Amino acid sequence: SQQGEEDPQALSIQEGENATMNCSYKTSINNLQWYRQNSGRGLVHLILIRSNEREKHSGRLRVTLDTSKKSSSLLITASRAADTASYFCATVYNFNKFYFGSGTKLNVKP
Amino acid sequence: EAGVAQSPRYKIIEKRQSVAFWCNPISGHATLYWYQQILGQGPKLLIQFQNNGVVDDSQLPKDRFSAERLKGVDSTLKIQPAKLEDSAVYLCASSPGRSSGNTIYFGEGSWLTVV
């Protein structure tokens, strides 16, 4: 299948701690993207990493990509209660085909 | 810039009835997607349009689901007849085009409950 699988399924941390979630996939990709979904809302793009990149940063977000292991990780540093949401990785293929995993549900306790 | 518009926001129907969802993508976006998201799961691609042509509809249950994109702009997704397992959020998304590096923009979704 072409979608990624996130791990863990759920994560609960205290405000100020770092949150790490992982995504594994099976077939070669064009790029990999991370999206966030607040309860009852649509998904919002966070960050994109191309298949020839190894690491990207955006504010408190750091994403890595290891194409040899077919895996990616998303790190949120110094988490805030407002970061509470579900996070999805999207594996992107030719013709802009996007496939989403089942997500990691992050709960940041104040 | 206006976002992806979807309607209705919520719909409750009985099984075997029909329902239609409408989506207006961001102006100028050539690619339009419909995803089905069942509670607690990730979005599942139902159909992808490039302008008014279908790129991928391999996961669309064609015996009951149909979708069209008139004139390459807005789109309608129809379910007829609905089953209980169709209860989900139907997310429409759009993207500027086919070049790599595009991101996709989602609407707020249409929540369907089949009773």
Calculate how close chain B gets to A95, using CA atoms only, in Å. Answer: 5
Calpha distance B110→B41 (Å, rounded): 16
pLDDT, tens only, A60-110: 999 999 999 999 999 999 999 999 999 999 999 988 899 999 999 999 999
Residue B112 pLDDT: 98
CA distances in angstroms from A24 to A58, A68, A74, listed in the order given: 21, 11, 12
Whether residue B98 has pLDDT greater than 80: no
B45 contacts in chain A (CB < 8 Å): 97-100
B42 contacts in chain A (CB < 8 Å): 3, 88, 100-103
- By C-alpha distance, which of B6, B44, B31 is closest to B98? B31
**The pairing of beta strand A104-109 with beta strand A10-14:** parallel
Bridge partners, A33 (sequence order): A48, A90
- Within 57-76 of A, beta carbons closer than 8 Å to B belong to none
Contact A99 B56 (CB under 8 A): no
pLDDT, tens only, A40-56: 899 999 999 999 999 99
Calpha distance A79→A33 (Å, rounded): 20
pLDDT, tens only, B19-76: 999 999 999 999 999 999 999 999 999 999 998 899 999 999 999 999 999 888 999 9
CB A93 within 8 A of CB A10: no
Calpha distance B51→B98 (Å, rounded): 10
Contact A42 B4 (CB under 8 A): yes
Whether residue A4 has pLDDT greater than 80: yes
CA distances in angstroms from A27 to A3, B14, B19, B55, B74, listed in the order given: 9, 40, 36, 19, 32
Contacts by residues B53-61 (CB-CB < 8 Å, ≥ 24 positions apart)? B55/A95, B55/A97, B55/B31, B56/A95, B56/A97
Contact A42 B35 (CB under 8 A): no
CB B90 within 8 A of CB B109: yes
Calculate how close chain B gets to A56, using CA atoms only, in Å. Answer: 14
Whether residue B100 has pLDDT greater than 80: no
B16 phi and psi, to 5 degrees?
80, -5
pLDDT, tens only, B70-89: 888 999 999 999 999 999 99
Residue B9 pLDDT: 97
